[in-house]
Amino acid sequence: RNTKRIAKEFEKGAGKRLHRELVELDEKNTHTSYISDPWFNMYLSAREPVVLNFNPFISLTPDPREAYNNQLVRATNLIISSIKFLNSLKNNYLRPDIYYGNPKWSESRLFKNFIRLLPTSVSWYGAYMVNAYPLDMSQYNRLFRSSRIPKPNKDELFTSECSRHLLVMRNGHFYVFDVLDSVDNILHPSEIVAHLIYIIQEADRLPEFALSYLTTEDRNIWATIRQQLLEAGNEENLKKIDSAIFCLCLDNIFPKDEDELSHCLLHGNGFNRWFDKSFSLIITGDGRAGINFEHSWGDGVAVLRFVNEVYRNSTRHPALLPHSRSTETTVITCERLKFKLNDSIQSAIHVAHKKFDERKKKMSMKRFQFRKFGKDYIVKQRMSPDAIFQLACQITFYRQFGKVVPSYEACSTAAFKHGRTETIRPTSMLTKQCSQAIVEERAKRSVAELRNMIDECSKYHRRLQMEAALGNGFDRHLFALKHLAVSRGEPMPDFFLDTAYQNINHNIISTSTLQSPAVNLGGFGPVVSDGFGIGYHVLDNWLGCNATSYLDGELQEFLRCLEYSLNDIFDILEGRPL
């Protein structure tokens, strides 16, 4: 009742005024979205370490031909495919991101040629005529040659316009070499692999003080130490790191299973990462590949497009064959970056190393797979695959803890200029009632009743998805109103101080999904200390997730209950009594 009173007062008073001012601000800034600046500000002002808190990872599917999964072969092919993507992007050859209302148009050569011939100013209308909608691609501008720079209280994003060098890390050492010439031609594959061989052979031991641990630190602490690095004479080396096309991490690690691979890609050992780079391409000793990306500049949609293109090109048109050898005449132009570290910086590295090791030990990560059904089966039941997995998570938490909690699912708003994400709220009265019925009332309910409840949850979840994708969610709107009040130095409205608003933004279950044949798995750390981070995918014949938590025992029980819940859903859809 108190929350309802506060909400009504906000709607008529401060909220109404802030909304009017937000609309006016949006109308004055037609070049961007109302959410863009507040969202950048939120990420860049966060003072927690980016690793474990913000940076997600994506694991690439292994190359279907085993011989191509050699570390050097795969690294070289992925480097070249990545640079091809960069050149296509830079020269405006990259095919636009488009949402097709009628999927058949996505493969139509006639449609592609028609759109290609239209002037840029009217091409959107041409696409609209056939129910195809171009999506925002502004985030791609920071995919390459970019870094997050630590600054006191608020970080900055840096992007170089024309750098040609690659940053390579091996055993905590930094190397740079040009992979593009003056007219953007890519270095020959044999020359690239020769440079990588040189790096692996030279960086055969760890440095006494691994500088990269500093990127795992609290942002204000890292900003202070970075200033010390600049004053100690390391400016040019830091510029070479920040402006590099991307970071390639050649790990001397051989993961024994998927859980170990996930830990490697999410945080690794700390010394062979530069977590501030827009993205790092990580190749393990046995040729497994993945991406760890800094989250402030962009979202999973841009990274997924990059991963899809690079995986497809590197596996269908590999530049380097397994039996290829580097030429002995290659001139190695690789530069090892050597840093001047005074006692204060060395001490800071030691402290950062210790803190990082303590944090990563506290976090558990487990992979989960369920193979009784997948997307195809759920679609045949005329239900939403995404809704079924989200419902399973709700039932699971209720089974384990006897209550429902705030949950979060990310939804892209790339349909809008400079759109980022909106929140889908999987927790609802419908999912609560369904969870209670399956967990506590199964003896009282018929299979038909339970199936109908699942169906209603699916329909409602589809509605939430549509609302979020079309900009009709409520989270970002309220976030922007709050940001506007803060930025103008106004007293915080009671609405945002109410425990209900605080509670709904403490997301115990935080989820995100990326569906692609190029993606083996993905994941991220929990967003709250008592929660779960769930990166999931629902594929044709099975579904699974990568779950993280600082509550190791609870995480294992959560996954056990998740299997139980999916089995219950399967039995209900099959018409079997529970």
Written in H, E and C, the secondary structure of 24-47 is HHHHHCCCCCCCHHHHHHHHHHCC
Checking if the pLDDT of 102 tops 80, the result is: no
How many Å separate Cα 428 from the centre of its chain? 26
CATH topology of domain 10-31+364-574: Chloramphenicol Acetyltransferase (3.30.559)
CATH topology of domain 98-134: Monooxygenase (1.20.1280)
pLDDT bin (cut points 50, 70, 90) of residue 60 is: very high
- Outline which parts of the chain fall under CATH 3.30.559.10: 10-31+364-574
Q: What pLDDT sits at residue 132?
A: 83
Q: What pLDDT sits at residue 116?
A: 77
Q: Which residues are catalytic?
A: 295
Pair 542, 374: CB distance under 8 Å: yes
Query: At a CB cut-off of 8 Å and minimum separation 6, what does 411 contact?
Result: 421, 422, 423, 424, 465, 468, 469, 473
- Outline which parts of the chain fall under CATH 3.30.559.70: 42-60+140-300+317-362
Q: Which of 15-19, 90-94, 328-332 has the lowest mean pLDDT?
A: 328-332
Query: At a CB cut-off of 8 Å and minimum separation 6, what does 197 contact?
Result: 72, 326
Q: What pLDDT sits at residue 356?
A: 98
Q: If we measure between CA atoms, which residue out of 515, 528, 547, 507 comes closest to residue 262?
A: 547
- In our burial notation (b when 16+ CB lie closer than 10 A, e otherwise), range 215-248 reads bbbebebbbebbeebeeeebeebbebbbbbbbbb
Name the percent of the chain lying above pLDDT 90.
90
Q: What pLDDT sits at residue 326?
A: 63
- Outline which parts of the chain fall under CATH 1.20.1280.180: 98-134
CA 449 to CA 391: how far, in whole Å? Answer: 16
- Over residues 532-553, mean pLDDT: 96
| 213-225 pLDDT, tens digit each | 999 999 999 999 9
CATH topology of domain 42-60+140-300+317-362: Chloramphenicol Acetyltransferase (3.30.559)
Checking if the pLDDT of 381 tops 80, the result is: yes
**Residue appearing with tokens 């209720």:** 398
| 14-45 pLDDT, tens digit each | 999 999 999 999 999 999 999 999 999 999 99
Checking if the pLDDT of 250 tops 90, the result is: yes
User: What is the CB neighbour count within 10 angstroms for residue 505?
Assistant: 16
Checking if the pLDDT of 433 tops 90, the result is: yes
Checking if the pLDDT of 123 tops 70, the result is: yes
| 132-187 pLDDT, tens digit each | 888 999 999 999 999 999 999 999 999 999 999 999 999 999 999 999 998 999 99
Lateral strand order in the sheet of 289-293: 335-336, 173-178, 165-170, 247-250, 279-283, 289-293, 57-60, 519-523
Q: What pLDDT sits at residue 119?
A: 82
Q: What pLDDT sits at residue 5?
A: 97
**What pTM was computed for the model?**
0.95
Checking if the pLDDT of 327 tops 70, the result is: no
